Structure 1
Amino acid sequence: MIPRDASHTLSSLAAGYPVLAVTGPRQSGKTTLCRALFPALPYASLEDPDTRQFAQEDTRGFLAQYPDGAVLDEAQRCPDLFAYLQRRVDEDPRPGRFVLTGSQQFGLMSGISQSLAGRVALLHLLPLGIAELRAGGLLPPSLDRLLLDGGYPPVHDRRLDPAIWYANYVQTYLERDVRQLINVRDLAQFQRFVRLCAGRTGQLLNLSALGDEAGVSHNTAGQWLSVLEASYLIHRLPPHHRNFNKRLVKTPKLYFLDTGLAARLLGIETESQLATHPLRGALFETWVVSEHLKARFNRGLPANLSFWRDRAGHEVDLIIERDNRLWPVEAKAGSTITADASRSLLRWLDVAADAAAEPTLVYAGEHAQTRNGVKWIPWREWQPHV
């Protein structure tokens, strides 16, 4: 197993809560992590038809098999389970007894909020981040290879061809699982919608335009987008809320949570394709945003990320609130350092004044430098702010 940065957080939470819930996209390593951290707990998958039938028809009898707890995979497949779990942990509140996993937020979070509030600790596990790849000796040799490989563990620990793996992932999970959640009748239309979303990664979200191009209503586009978000495939990054300047953009930006999946949906399969692709910069920015989300989630922290953009076009890709300061981060896919690249960061420093912390610019080059108070950090050496 590739060591995961979330291991320490999950172990700490297990010392204080009777139930742990680990959510994230399919194949992000949830089951592997939980079984490795809690080897003494028996394991049951609610994906298995026989196991699910037993849990649904006789929930009390199903849980009676596990007096000392268990790892219950894809727990949202049996909604009645949560109420019975509440009864069990209230009678015996020993910490770390039950570990639930789920790849779909709607079902899992609904069960937790209705029955297990105050009894459960939640951790979001996204695909591998740069720190985990680096520590495991798996960091790809080039930035373009990193963007194409993405972070899903099977691509790295089994050395699979990412183009083939992501094609299968789209068919088996995205088109089967997600489409069934929203009962899509026209698969081609849904496929088009998802690919249009990939083409908008790193851009301001215009739901009406997205729906028009996909041939669906504004409401349908919003519903489909919410399900993609609940399935940990996309993230809507909100604009920064503090009103430093009244002429601010108030629309969120759309990001995929994995560049390998986004690249596959865009039809990019090779480094040479990516090197000249018009969305290479957007994919690099997507990677920087997703790395920050991974770093925060691995610590058990909320996203707490935003971006800043005024109507004159000045934009900072990420604003991180930490220690009562605002840390600005910019992503540039170029490999050379130029004065123009840090212009928006310097504008932000003027606007935010005393609230602004040290600005960082992550770029595709090889040398770290500090210019005009801006830290330029090569992608290979970068460590996301937490």
Structure 2
Amino acid sequence: MFHRTIAAELTLELDHTPAVALLGPRQVGKTTLALEVAHNRPSVYLDLESERDRAKLDNAELYLSDHLDKLVILDEVHRTPALFPLLRGLIDQARRSGKTAGQYLLLGSASWDLLQQSGETLAGRISYLDMTGLTVQETGADQQDSLWLRGGFPDSLQSPNEARSLRWRESFIRTYLERDIPQFGPRIPAETLRRLWTMLAHHQGGLLNVAQLARNIGVDAKTAASYIDLLSDLLLVRRLAPWHDNQGKRLVKSHKVYVRDSGLVHALLHIGSKDDLLSHPVVGASWEGFCIENLLACAPRGVQAFFYRSSGGAEVDLLLLWPNGERWAIEIKRSTAPKVERGFHSACEDLQPARKLVVYPGQESYRLREDVHAVSLHALCQELLTP
């Protein structure tokens, strides 16, 4: 059992907000966390993929009215969009009687944008949390390589061997393509979407070129863009925005694109062992995406993430912008003896960051230059989590 760092934030939100939406891919641990958090308060759990639990909501208003004194956990809530207007009314009813927090915990496998398309908004009554896979801070630095290879889904990470882990991830991908994704929009050919997903894995950390991807899978650019939007809404793909601030520089304007879970990257590319990974061309980009996902999962709310690249070669892999305007420039290196290249220094001259950091696979933290520090991924994640 892993302690999920998001648990404290989820508890805090439930203590101050009538409804909380906890969103993340299937099998990432949402239900386990929800039941753990609800253990110390009166609660009722409904799995809306279960016919028996859905039957309890045949008269949803009557059933939910009987549980206004409890936290009601609604799992896979996107399957019953008709509930949203009802929840709004029940929240307002409870507010009038003095209950202002901790009424509903909504678990979903899609981003809230998709939920809004099928239900009435709960604006002003709900807060949102995105749940990622396990991070290196949650598993411990000693499991970093295994976490990188297998990804952050608990069942994949805890498989008895590499072959079973890979088999689990391949089954996960197939289930998403054939069963889950068709729930969220028009019917998409599973093989077409698999090809796109695989191309994104090959292109891990590259600039997003929708027109080229569209040609490769035989669809128009608008259709390809909608497929990428869907994978992004399902929290399976990340589009990292470019930084734009200095009008005197010619900066890259395209987003970078990542398959968010490193284990899925490797499954899509049929990489089953660490030896296979280290000899594969995707190794550097895979490590970069793995570090970015871990760092952003640990970054406080309000911190914005970008990358920086100019036509002149200045580049920063990850730029964190804090709410007070402070900037952290982070370079990601797979080498155990990292060296900072000229492009990073040029970018820092443009950006003037408060911190210049190089994340590398080792565990020791030390100075590469007077103002540039090499740090371990685990140490930087811990720093981001420390208030």
Q: TM-score, normalised by structure 2?
A: 0.90
State the Cα distance separating 1:215 from its structure 2 match.
1.5
Give the gaps of 5 or more residues in structure 2: none
Partner of 1:351: 350
Mapped partners of 1:182, 1:109: distance in 2: 13
Paired residue secondary structure (2:238): strand
2:252–2:310: 8 Å Cα contact kept in structure 1? Answer: yes
Partner of 1:108: 115
User: Is the counterpart of residue 78 in structure 1 residue 80 in structure 2?
Assistant: yes
Paired residue secondary structure (1:308): strand
User: Is the counterpart of residue 26 in structure 1 residue 26 in structure 2?
Assistant: yes
2:177–2:193: 8 Å Cα contact kept in structure 1? Answer: no
1:14–1:96: 8 Å Cα contact kept in structure 2? Answer: yes
Mapped partners of 1:253, 1:337: distance in 2: 23
The verdict on how the C-alpha distance between 1:320 and 1:379 changes in structure 2, with shifts beyond 3 A counting, is closer
Partner of 1:38: 38
Mapped partners of 2:231, 2:239: distance in 1: 11
User: Is the counterpart of residue 378 in structure 1 residue 376 in structure 2?
Assistant: yes
Mapped partners of 1:91, 1:180: distance in 2: 32
Partner of 2:366: 369
Q: Which moved more, 1:16-25 or 1:160-169?
A: 160-169
The verdict on how the C-alpha distance between 1:185 and 1:379 changes in structure 2, with shifts beyond 3 A counting, is closer
State the Cα distance separating 1:214 from its structure 2 match.
1.4
Give the gaps of 5 or more residues in structure 1: none
Mapped partners of 1:38, 1:185: distance in 2: 37
1:334–1:363: 8 Å Cα contact kept in structure 2? Answer: yes
Write the letter of the residue equivalent to 1:170.
Answer: I
2:21–2:128: 8 Å Cα contact kept in structure 1? Answer: yes
User: Is the counterpart of residue 208 in structure 1 residue 214 in structure 2?
Assistant: no
Paired residue secondary structure (1:316): strand
Partner of 1:132: 138
Paired residue secondary structure (1:92): helix
Q: CA RMSD, aligned part only?
A: 2.1
The verdict on how the C-alpha distance between 1:139 and 1:180 changes in structure 2, with shifts beyond 3 A counting, is farther
2:309–2:316: 8 Å Cα contact kept in structure 1? Answer: yes
1:201-350 paired onto structure 2 within 5 Å: 201-243=204-246, 245-296=248-299, 299=300, 301-302=301-302, 304-322=304-322, 323-338=324-339, 341-350=340-349
State the Cα distance separating 1:146 from its structure 2 match.
2.9
Mapped partners of 1:150, 1:120: distance in 2: 30
1:2–1:157: 8 Å Cα contact kept in structure 2? Answer: no
Deviations 1:283-338, CA, capped at 9 Å, x for gaps: 01101111122113xx5x25610000001222101110113111111111122233
Q: What is the number of residues matched between the two proteins?
A: 372
Mapped partners of 2:226, 2:66: distance in 1: 39
Deviations 1:321-375, CA, capped at 9 Å, x for gaps: 113111111111122233xx3423211221123xx11110011245422122211
1:74-223 paired onto structure 2 within 5 Å: 74-93=76-95, 94=99, 95-105=101-111, 106-110=113-117, 114-134=120-140, 139-140=142-143, 143=145, 145-157=146-158, 159=160, 161-184=164-187, 186-223=189-226
1:22–1:122: 8 Å Cα contact kept in structure 2? Answer: yes
Partner of 2:50: 48
Partner of 1:66: 67
State the Cα distance separating 1:156 from its structure 2 match.
3.3
Mapped partners of 1:124, 1:192: distance in 2: 26
Identity over aligned residues, as a percent? Answer: 29
The verdict on how the C-alpha distance between 1:344 and 1:179 changes in structure 2, with shifts beyond 3 A counting, is farther
Deviations 1:14-64, CA, capped at 9 Å, x for gaps: 111111110111111111111110122110011112433553x43323423
Write the letter of the residue equivalent to 2:136.
Answer: I
Q: Which moved more, 1:175-184 or 1:30-39?
A: 175-184
Q: TM-score, normalised by structure 1?
A: 0.90
State the Cα distance separating 1:189 from its structure 2 match.
1.9
